[in-house]
Amino acid sequence: MRVITVSTDPVQGGERSSHRIPGMLTDSCAEQGITPIVLGEGLAGKMNRPEIQKHKIHWLRDSMASVSASHELFAFVDAWDVAFIRDFYAIVEGFKSYGKPILFSAEKNLFPTEVACRMYPPSPTQWKYLNSGGFMGSMRDLQRMLSNPHFSDRSLEAFRCDGHAYHYFHLDNPGAIQLDHHCRVFQTFHRGAPLRNDNGVMTNTVTGTQPSILHGNGGTAADVAGIWGRTRR
Q: What does the pLDDT look like over 153-188, one tens digit per residue? A: 888 888 878 888 999 999 999 999 999 999 999 999
Identify any residues that bridge with 77 across adjacent strands, giving them in sequence order: 134
Residue 44 has pLDDT above 60, yes or no: no
Residue 120 has pLDDT above 60, yes or no: yes
Identify any residues that bridge with 140 across adjacent strands, giving them in sequence order: none
Residues of the chain above pLDDT 70, percent = 94
Residue 50 has pLDDT above 70, yes or no: no
Residue 13 has pLDDT above 80, yes or no: no
Q: Radius of gyration over alpha carbons of the chain, in Å?
A: 17
| pLDDT recorded at residue 41 | 78
State the average pLDDT over residues 212-222.
Answer: 96
State the average pLDDT over residues 80-97.
Answer: 97
- In this structure, what DSSP letter does residue 36 have? P
pTM, rounded to two decimals? 0.93
The CATH number, out of the four listed (1.20.120, 3.90.550, 1.20.58, 3.40.1710), of the domain defined by the range 2-231: 3.90.550
**Domain ranges for the chain:** 2-231
Using alpha carbons only, what angle is made at residue 154 by residues 218 and 175, rounded to the nearest 5 degrees?
Answer: 60
Surface-to-core class of residue 153, CB atoms within 10 Å of its CB (0-12 exposed, 13-18 middle, 19+ buried): exposed
